[in-house]
Amino acid sequence: MSRPKLKVAVLCGGRSGEHEVSLRSAQAILDHLNPEFYEPRRIFISKSGQWDPAPILPEPGANPGIDVVFPVLHGTFGEDGAVQGLLELANLPYVGAGVFASAASMDKEHFKRLCLRDNLPVTEYEVLHTGNPHIPHPLEPAIARFGFPLFVKPANLGSSVGISKAHDHAELEAAVALAARYDVKVLIERAISGQEIECSVIGNYRPQAATPCEILPSREWYDYEDKYLLGAARALLPANLTQAETEEIRRLSVACFRAVECMGMARVDFFIERPSGKIYINEINTIPGFTSISMYPKMWEHAGLPFHQLVEMLIDLALERHHLRQSLRYER
């Protein structure tokens, strides 16, 4: 007797600057859901916040056509804990990190603080509270501490949206103004010259890391255009690393995953400074890309886990976590 098909809602689009990337990721996931076992349903959120065909409702039992949700909402309102909170209210299983891990990972400052608490190496930074008119945000401390060049980033965004590399004071002012369009908090980081490494992680309470890959940008750095528009960046899989470096990247990836209490999936990004060889964690992506050029699924394919099995495993992990949470009490 065959089991009923699992109704999987793939949630995509959204109000963030990564709307188009989300659509591409979602389509790839939908294309790889085996129709023999899954009944896929695409739920689209427009840039203005309209849901199609209908919104997920924040009440248990109010979403009968959904057994599990696969959120593929990159960036703000999708990767920052907002939609995860909605799914918790609806008591629906969902793929990926929970509310806290999503929010903590999305905020680059708080992510770094959690890593530092566990003695994990992160890039040095200064914070500007550009959205607070009562707090001054001078640029000189970062310049004095790090020198040029500098990276400037919105604290809560992804896919390199709003990020700039500044080589002088004028470029730094312009970079801060651009980043402030996307968030009320801006990070200024020391630029690190060396290799850009990514590593995929999967699991709940026993996470595992894949073989790392190396990103070879076609421009000065791996910006949005290089990631999604130009098609000229290359990736080396496996990365050009020593065995010791590979194992350390994998160890740090799992440690980072645990530091923010992540679940399901994540991609951890690194810099390896040359010639010192020092490894720095750059960020963690709790909803990594699933497009045709995204490295999260490619790293697992290299490890022997093809795309369709990866999607199935992530759904199983979501159901496992949800089942464990059902035993919790929320009243005396």
CA nearest to 120, candidates 268, 296, 240: 268
Residue 228 known to be catalytic? yes
Q: Which of 131, 166, 185, 153 is nearest to 269 (CA)?
A: 153
292 catalytic per annotation: no
Per the annotation, the verdict on 107 as an active-site residue is: no
Written as one string, the DSSP assignment of 148-174 is SSEEEEESS--TTTT-EEESSHHHHHH
Per-residue pLDDT tens digits for 57-95: 999 999 999 999 999 998 888 999 999 999 999 999 999
Q: Which residue is catalytic, options 17, 18, 182, 321?
A: 18
Asked if 260 contacts 105 with a C-beta cutoff of 8 angstroms, the reply is yes
Ordered by where they begin, the domains of the chain are 6-95 (3.40.50.20), 103-122+192-312 (3.30.470.20), 125-190 (3.30.1490.20)
Q: Residue 269 catalytic?
A: yes
Catalytic residue flag (residue 285): yes
Whether residue 231 has pLDDT greater than 70: no
pLDDT at site 217: 80
Specify whether 296 is catalytic: no
**What is the predicted pLDDT for the residue at 286?**
96
Give the C-alpha separation, 239 to 302, whole Å: 12
Catalytic member of 67, 78, 289, 321:
289
pLDDT higher than threshold 90 for residue 331? no
> pLDDT by residue (tens digit) across 106-137?
999 999 999 999 999 999 999 999 988 878 88
Q: Is position 36 annotated as part of the catalytic site?
A: no
Does the annotation mark 226 as catalytic?
no
Alpha-carbon 99 to chain mean position:
14
- What does the pLDDT average to over 12-19? 87
Alpha-helix residue ranges (DSSP H) falling in the chain: 19-31, 82-89, 99-106, 108-117, 140-146, 169-180, 224, 243-259, 295-302, 307-325
pLDDT the model gives residue 238? 96
